[in-house]
A and B are shown apart, each in its own frame.
Chain A
């Protein structure tokens, strides 16, 4: 019952948030100077041409009418037409979304593995030099944002030791047999390991850049909860049963210590998704974020609206899932 009520409340606030985002983005970008229609026509275009094309895109209507038309369209799944490419915004956005999702998920997996390993090692050797070294590394990783890590990685593994690709999503010379835009998953399903390896070699560095700050947060928080858990009675009991330290950490303490970290990972994952915008730009990775920056530079209003709204939708849905997961996993909230 409590869960259902929580779900209802959260769904409602999510809708309010999305509506707020829609209003803000719509009106903010309409203040942008520069007529997008004039920019898409060849230099010789007359005033008349501009007016006719503006009418075609509905840009001659009053602002509120434009907003009404846009919202009505969005509710029916029509996000308008991109001004620069003249394709439906929804198709463009959905075509790029898989690239960004694959990148973000790969980064998340990397962060969990790196952060988890740091926390477990730090707990296993707590109080010693190893823990000190892990703390220093965590502090560094946390202080510097993904953008700078991306540049450092480009220098280290793209130039100094060129083992990974530093731009693009897949080598342009390759022939792609894909029917979906989930290249990473589809290449695995088709057992095309040659393509898969090429795609991974393109994704490792941008994903790692996104993962480093999150890995540090996971490492710090998980280690802290693990160390607290290690002093609890039930862990001591497990020890008196003769279990080794490593086994006690992995089998007994980890399960209890993971919950607070899980909540945090959810919130931080939205930050990571936000970070894809500049990281994709940095690595010329053909995802949503890179398209967003181009859309802003080209003043492609319908496309900007669509992308920002999609990002906001992803953020709020991730937060919603985390809240619900937390409620389901946390017995205190479940029975409240």
Chain B
């Protein structure tokens, strides 16, 4: 029987994990709503320039204009509206790139870990080669090849990050494949692929879900980095990374152009990651 202290510790961890989960989910829901309703809730046109309204400070500072809550950038574009519209690109990349990466990586990892043999050898060697590329440089290179745009970013993320899933899922599938229940499924007459899908996959699924959540956060960052290097969508479309790049250059004149998109990006990445960690604890049978 576990002693009282241990039980307390577990419930504490569970409660803390629960709070983390709710806060992160709350922020992401808010963001998703903002992205969906952007054209209606953004106070200004995110692209509208007005050189007479350049570098307005946020509302609580002297010199602020009503309506421009978080100030404007050097071209007089409304920071808040650009953040709200930027959420569309960020979340789209997170969802689409995250899911495709997950699908590709998990499939390859499952095949390598369960089938072993030459399939495993080829996939493992590919993973090794991929791990020898500096990921940021690799993504910039791919964007240079594919040309800027949303599709290119998604392709670049999938091409670079599939190894994150493949490595972990391969190891998990290998561990599961050695268990008795898999052997009995085979004895009971189930085929190799059937066993993989019906027996192994459900047991690896919690890990995949956690990885997917983490990958969405990574995708948001990759998009921001590419916008920062000026290789993302186009210079007109508002993206958080593009705003940060602009804010970085005018940091001494207008700190708000950098700070607000940075806080948004920070909270979003933190939320995805905390959501993933929270889910990991939920799935952990020891804590449950």
Contact = CB atoms under 8 A, between A and B. Distances in A.
A270 B252 CA distance: 34
Given A144-B270, A308-B133, A159 B255 contact: yes
Contacts of B138: 308
A31 B258 contact: no
Nearest to B146: A31
Nearest to A160: B255
Contacts of B25: none
Given A151-B248, A273-B134, A13 B266 contact: no
Contact of B134 (A151, A154, A311, A316): A311
B97 interface: no
B252 A17 contact: no
Contacts of B125: 13, 16-17, 20
Interface in A121-159: 139-140, 142-145, 147-148, 151-152, 154-155, 158-159
Contacts of B135: 274
Contacts of A297: 144
Contact of B248 (A140, A282, A293): A282
Given A145-B269, A311-B134, A32 B145 contact: yes
A21 B129 contact: yes
A292 B137 contact: yes
Contact of A315 (B131, B252, B269): B131
A29 B128 CA distance: 20
B204 to A, nearest CB: 22
Contact of A154 (B133, B144, B251): B251
Interface string B211-239: 00000011001001100110000000000
B141 interface: yes
Interface residues of A, number: 48
Interface string B236-269: 0000000010001001100100110010011001
B255 A29 contact: no
A97 B234 CA distance: 32
B266 A155 contact: no
Interface in B106-142: 125-126, 128-129, 131-138, 140-142
B132 A17 contact: yes
B221 A304 contact: no
Given A31-B145, A277-B136, A278-B225, A139 B269 contact: no
B209 to A, nearest CB: 17
B274 interface: yes
A259 interface: no
Interface residues of B, number: 40
A289 B225 CA distance: 14
A178 to B, nearest CB: 27
B258 A148 contact: no
A296 B266 CA distance: 28
A28 B138 CA distance: 10
Contacts, number: 125
B243 to A, nearest CB: 11
A312 interface: yes
Given A20-B129, A158-B251, A281 B229 contact: yes
B262 A152 contact: yes
B221 A274 contact: no
A274 B218 CA distance: 15
A312 B221 contact: no
A299 interface: yes
Q: Which of B134, B251, B277 has the most CB of A within 10 A?
A: B134
Interface in A285-336: 289, 292-293, 296-297, 299, 304, 307-308, 311-312, 315-316
B136 A148 contact: no
A13 B229 CA distance: 34
Contacts of B228: 147, 278, 281-282
Contacts of B251: 154-155, 158-159
B147 interface: yes
Contacts of B221: 145, 147-148
A307 B133 CA distance: 10
A24 interface: yes
Contacts of B141: 25, 28-29, 296, 304, 308
A147 B224 contact: yes
Q: Which 10 residue pairs spanning A and B have beta carbons closest together?
A: A143-B273, A20-B129, A274-B134, A312-B132, A277-B136, A311-B134, A278-B136, A315-B132, A277-B137, A296-B144
Contacts of B244: 151
5 contacts: A139-B274, A143-B274, A145-B269, A152-B262, A304-B141
